[in-house]
Chain A
Amino acid sequence: MKMKSLMLTAAVAALATPALAEVKVGMITTLSGGGAGLGIDVRDGFMLAIKQSGRDDIEVVIEDDQRKPDVAVQLADKMIQSEKVDVLTGIIWSNLAMAVVPSVTAQGKFYLSPNAGPSALAGKGCHENYFNVAWQNDNLHEAAGSYANTAGYKNSFILAPNYPAGKDALTGYKRFFEGNLAGEVYTQLGQTDYAAEIAQIRASGADSVFFFLPGGMGISFLKQYADSGVDIPVVGPAFSFDQGILQAVGDAALGVVNTSQWSKDLDNEANTAFVASFEAEYGRLPSLYASQGFDTANLLISAVEAADVSDADAFRAALEAADFASTRGAFKFGPNHHPIQTIYAREVIKEGDVYTNKIIGVALEDHADAYAADCKM
């Protein structure tokens, strides 16, 4: 009871601030240290959309969380308490999102997630002011499981780091994969050498390998896997085959099938324009993360056009409508404010000197997450 009244006070306090025509957005993202590439892509995609909209009534404050949860929490406090932002966005990592999002939404602010989608925030911990514009964490792994069925795989060896997102990944794959498991291995977070796991894969008699190893871990795994001479086909989520890191993997990634809700060659007007303008603006190809940042900003702009942010109910309804041209084509929210979207199977190819992806089929059509039923908002 006490908690509820406190939350109510906070919400009322937020509403009582004088209504400005201007919308202030706080972006907390990772811009320094090892994971900075993802944050920079989200930021660049987001700012490109703001720039293209030509609106001068949306102010964006950007801060670096250094991938540290306590810094992210501190920045969220700063943005709410001293910058007085209306909407927050930008966080890349699930553990940072878990630290920031519940308190942000409890204080009556809106949060639009451009990347992380932990299951807790999709199910029991969902909130009416929390919108995920990327995916629920399990989605791409579920699609990988579904693709493995289509490809006729019967016996998969699966591996992921030993941390919550890793466990979610294997659970997601197993939720859709109908064959047997030749092996299930948890690696150390940040592990750089996978010789031992590759030897296990070779000995396991598997007909396919599923892995979720984000960032540098995936680069190391793929290079070592290619060099080991094991030729069992690999599937994985898009994170290890993203535009940003694909160049560092090189030939080792060629031909690997990965699952993604977005691809550079996705044929729709918004996406073609996005890819061209992103390349023109920043001199590099956009990544999955850049597309998510771009979509997040466009969702925000569509809501700002339809409603005043100081009227929380109207603004929320405008966000729910998701009336914007997504780079993914059709885009809509499920009842828990997570996307219902089509996830594609892509294959890594080489275009001239550049490694990139090409869509080879649909892995899951209009897919919603598994936690929506637990969400009571």
Chain B
Amino acid sequence: MTPLLLAEQILNGLQFGVMLFLMAAGLTLIFGVMGLINLAHGSLYMVGAFAAAAAAGATGSFALGLAAALAAAAMAGALVEILVIRRLYARDHLDQVLATFALILIFSEGTRWLFGSFPLFLDVPGALSGPVTLPGGIQYPLYRLALIGIGLLVAAGLGLLIARTRIGIQIRAGENDREMIAALGVDISRLYTLIFALGAALAGLAGALVGAIQSVQVGMGEPVLILAFVVIVIGGIGSIKGAFIGALLVGLTDTLGGIFLPELFKLFMEPATATSAGASLASMLIYILMGAVLIFRPTGLFGSRA
């Protein structure tokens, strides 16, 4: 394997990780502040992708599609929070798991009822399509570079939001002591709705961005959801920094594992068996990573509480 190919694969892992971060950030924020485990987060990702595909299909503009994705996911998030989720904060995780599991069913079949059973079309915007040549001669799709850029920007913005703004102070206070900030006169239920909508919007954004290079279809959210859970568990639930590191770790492990394990197995197996065995192990790799992290750090890399 040439260094050039390796560099390209690292970029791929980075891009995958950054998109996972957008999903994981909302999940971890919601858990950190409200103590809620939300299995339906993947559905908001799907909502974002479908809204973007529908809007971009109708108007021909990818930017409008993105705006529609943000708006639709945030609205769906706020609505779900007000109707269902806020009744669950005081419940145990078991009830939360079940209720949000039920939400997945409703979202998935509802989307299929609205948009039909066939995948929708969403394309990379013209200005960002095609490859560019990076220093060193790597041919790399411009859109994927843009994804890395957007992901890093969002990460930085989220960091600033939490560290520097009034809402950030309330979020941090909420993570530490819920009763206290209510006593200080913060409208807690509005704050919760806001945070939930923010997390939903991030998921919707990820869905729309990724939808342009993947298939926009019902059920697209669940695989990403499980990966996002792996990310926040590795990073430590509730920690944005942990989600960021965890996302990059998972993105790089998954991408590089898929390439190197079959090569590694070829050293002592026949090629056909090695390809298949390597691919099998690669698909289990991130779960092994997560297991290993939890065995040595039961609350994840940056987590403080269970």
Contacts and interface: CB of A to CB of B under 8 A. Distances in A.
Interface of A: 32-34, 36-37, 40, 162, 167, 184-188, 190, 192-193, 195-196, 199-200, 202-203, 215-220, 223-224, 227-230, 244-245, 247-252
Contact of A188 (B2, B8, B109, B279): B279
Contacts of A219: 119, 214-215, 217
Contact of B215 (A40, A185, A196, A248): A248
A228 B141 contact: yes
B159 interface: no
A36 B12 contact: no
A223 B211 CA distance: 10
24 contacts: A34-B218, A37-B118, A162-B280, A162-B283, A190-B223, A192-B220, A195-B255, A216-B217, A219-B215, A220-B215, A223-B123, A223-B124, A223-B212, A223-B213, A223-B214, A227-B141, A228-B141, A229-B139, A245-B215, A248-B216, A248-B217, A249-B121, A250-B121, A251-B123
Determine chain A's interface SS by DSSP, over half rule. Answer: helix
Interface residues of B, number: 51
A250 B123 contact: yes
Determine chain B's interface SS by DSSP, over half rule. Answer: helix
B152 interface: no
List the 6 closest A-B pairs by CB distance, nearest first.
A229-B131, A216-B215, A219-B215, A195-B12, A248-B119, A36-B117
A184 B12 contact: no
A227 to B, nearest CB: 5
Contacts of A203: 2, 4-5
B43 to A, nearest CB: 13
Contacts of A37: 116-119
A112 to B, nearest CB: 23
A250 B60 CA distance: 14
B15 A195 contact: yes
B55 to A, nearest CB: 16
Contacts of A200: 5, 259
A184 B272 CA distance: 8
Nearest to A33: B219
B118 A248 contact: yes
